[in-house]
Structure 1
């Protein structure tokens, strides 16, 4: 039966590395660990102490300081490969993993799979014609010399490429090698890995070439295996399931991906999210189980690509999550008191809240002083409240654990109110139809900056006439968006009519609103 030596490249979360190594050796296999030289020495000491009693675990003699895209990743892989080949003479296969990888099949299935044929599993496609690289540089990775890391010294990295291009410093490819490319993650037989190590000992020019190439971990082993192994013994796919975005970023898998991962035609998956503790536990249990029943559909990359496209148009499983959060929510009642007289509006909404037994707030979209609960910072400015109005209201509902909420709004906020009425929740509007007296119109003109206390009456008259017409048009606009829940009361109306309107607005018996109607302070202004 196949015996696997897992080559583990890791740089973080030493406790997770310990659990991973114990799981892998728990099935009778071996683990060789390279702990990044840039990572904390304390983490390395923690791993060595935690695995000191495990005879199936060994460590590299050197810790290479690794950088993304650098030859140092190839060096680290060679380092861990050498100690594994020497230290585990019974290992028949060598499987490269990272600390973010987890098995998605039982160990017995993995052993049986490798026993089924004499093959190496490594992606190996033509470097220049396959189109494997989706974005960014292609031939520039190889033909120019790279001395700095693009991620740490971006300007200098590209300046050096441009300088070499202008000076004609294009370099030749290694003699006798057709460049290949593919995934960094592979599983090779012992004889193949030994052949690779022997080849680079003979051809030091190959190591020198790749030392100054960019992202060589995707071309070094892929090229050498292609030249050292009969083609019919190479399966040009990794046994580790991974998905990249169009921008070259690997997708992460979470707790709800368990069934999805098990259905893929692979032995391991990368990257498992650090926060997916439940998924890691379930996959570890699966790996050490004796159940070898496997149901494979293998549609993972197609599904990911399809859902990615749907997500870009906001249709992945429905609205984007921020759109869903930007809705008040079905089954909730939002009671809006409309009044230009803010003192009157605040008094009424306060009494409405007391009568109906529901949370009530004043002009939260106009008055920064309204005392709102902590909503994660979204409540700290009027601009944020206005921009994220539905989210603000949703969070207030959730804060109080209530399905009903009363607030005040100014009739001038027509666009905002119209948007709220279109929500899936029930929105009720109660308009305080104050008489358009000259005094009220003059106060409105002053509030809108159209007049001052010293504006002569003759000059003010056309302004007041225009304001009166504007109020009439506004009333018509609100009636036009009437969703069956539009109510209006006037101070001049009989108390019985006011009581009936308030009771309907609040959906409470009429006797419960009598105190509001009879209050001498409600319409005191």
Structure 2
């Protein structure tokens, strides 16, 4: 009978990892856990302590710091694979999972399915001929070298790309490999895994090539399995049920999706919402159950396309299933810096970036050219960003894989502030009050088209009080809204006072906040 060694990559929520390991190994299967080396060491200790007496759980000898789109994700997988091969000689299959995955069939069903299907399950489509990549780069992922993390060092990432492009520094793809692409969630037989590990040891040239490709977890295993295993022994599909929105973001499943998930022709599903406690409980019990009969209808994708295509709200699977997410998520924190002088807010954000790991985005609802990741087009215009504001923010939280995100807004965006403040997520607002000289107000009037180079002094003198009063009115509206978590920095206040406001806003120690508030020329024009 099939015995599965689960390869679990995770970086958060130690309690969920422990429960998942205990549940999946309770029926005699195995698990190799790679916990991101850049994540909390306290969380890792919690996991290892809780599972140290479980003989069916192992950990790789070396953990690596993982970054989206990097080779590090592939290396973490290889390390976990090797640990599982060494620790579990009776394992017949190796199944790739993330911390957001859960079984949607019983262990009994999964074992029988694998016994009856002697094949490797991995999406493996021709990289250049298929339409697997819907938007964005294609050959650029391969023919140029990518040395840094695109999300963490975006400017350097694209600078290095442009340098290579201008200098014509293209490279050749290994001649004996047909590059394939597909989902990173696979299930492979033991002899395939052993052949992969042996190939990796022998063909260091291939490893070197993929080390500097972009998003190699979608191409490395998909290419090598096709190279090592006869075509008729490969099922070019994943056994993990996942769907994507029109914007290219994964659909999240909630409590009301239990029956839908069970009817899909898959063994696992991704992503399960952290808030879907009842769904997690029911699926956990299901995995251990015996004698359960499953009625496979496989309606999930067609139903999702039908409902999303019409853009209506109904009740069958709750609005979140086919609508872009209506809430940012109860566990998330949206931190909003509000300031009329954009350059001041940007200086504050730059210092926050230097002192914390919290992702920060500048005036995305005010400046069209604010650097943003490709989210399928929703980010392209200010009109779209405003119209799909919550969907956009939810995607950004998912993109940065964070529960805390900072953005800048103009005080005039009171409707956005009210909207986000009413969300179930935690919304904190930091208003930065600045002094406005006549020179600054004249410059502002010219920037927004209220005045020009030829505007007379008399006209400006009549205009300036109105502009100043308008700015005061915007600040008053923020006060009148009585936001629950509102703090203020003031240009006329001292660094200590401003550090107190920053400390409360960011939930950081006052001495660290003081490093931001004491920055020279913070309020200079």
Q: Which residue of 2 aligns with 1:279?
A: 279
Distance 1:188 1:182 in 2: 14
Distance 1:135 1:384 in 2: 32
Counterparts of 1:149 and 1:165 in 2: how far apart (Å)? 18
State the Cα RMSD in Å. 2.5
Residue 245 in structure 1 maps to residue 245 in structure 2:
yes
What does 1:20-419 align with in structure 2 at a 5 Å threshold?
A: 20-311=20-311, 314-315=312-313
Deviation at 1:303, TM superposition (A): 1.9
**Offset of 1:309 from its aligned partner?**
2.4
Q: Secondary structure at the match of 1:62?
A: coil
Structure 2 residues without counterparts, runs of 5 or longer: 327-411, 423-525
Give secondary structure in 2 for the equivalent of 1:145: coil
How many angstroms does 1:384 deviate by?
6.2
- Residue 96 of structure 2: SS of its match in structure 1? strand
Measure the CA separation in 1 of the matches of 2:319 and 2:53. 49
1:135·1:247 contact (CA, 8 Å) conserved in 2? no
Aligned-partner Cα distance in 2 for 1:175–1:85: 30
TM-score, L = length of structure 1: 0.60
Distance 1:148 1:247, change over 3 A: farther
TM-superposed CA distance for 1:317, in Å, is 5.0
- C-alpha contact (below 8 Å) 1:134/1:246 kept by paired residues: no
Give the deviation of 1:27 after TM superposition.
1.2
What is residue 351 of structure 1 aligned with on the other side?
A: none
- Measure how far apart 1:174 and its partner are: 1.6
Compared CA separation, residues 99 and 167, structure 1 to 2 (3 A): same
Query: How far did 1:300 drift?
Result: 1.6
| Separation in 2, partners of 1:289, 1:317 | 29
Q: Distance in 2 between matches of 1:10 and 1:237?
A: 23
Paired residue secondary structure (2:46)? helix
Q: Give the secondary-structure state (helix, strand or coil) at the position aligned to 2:21.
A: helix
Distance 1:384 1:10 in 2: 37
Does residue 13 of structure 2 align to residue 5 of structure 1? Answer: no
**Equivalents in 1 of 2:238, 2:89: separation in Å?**
24
The CA distance in 2 between the partners of 1:135 and 1:231, in whole Å, is: 28
The structural deviation recorded for 1:292 is 3.1
CA apart distance, 1:88: 0.2
Q: Deviations over 1:291-343 (max 9, x none)?
A: 231111112222222222233xx445599799xx9xxxxxxxxxxxxxxxxxx
Specify every segment of 5 or more residues in structure 1 that has no aligned partner in the other structure, as ranges. 326-380, 392-525
TM-score (norm 2): 0.60
**CA–CA distance in 2 between the matches of 1:185 and 1:6?**
11
Q: How far apart are 1:175 and its partner, in Å?
A: 2.9
Larger gyration radius, structure 1 or structure 2: 1
Mapped to 2, the partners of 1:304 and 1:77 lie a distance apart of: 31
How many residue pairs match? The answer is 330
CA shift at 1:4, angstroms? 0.4
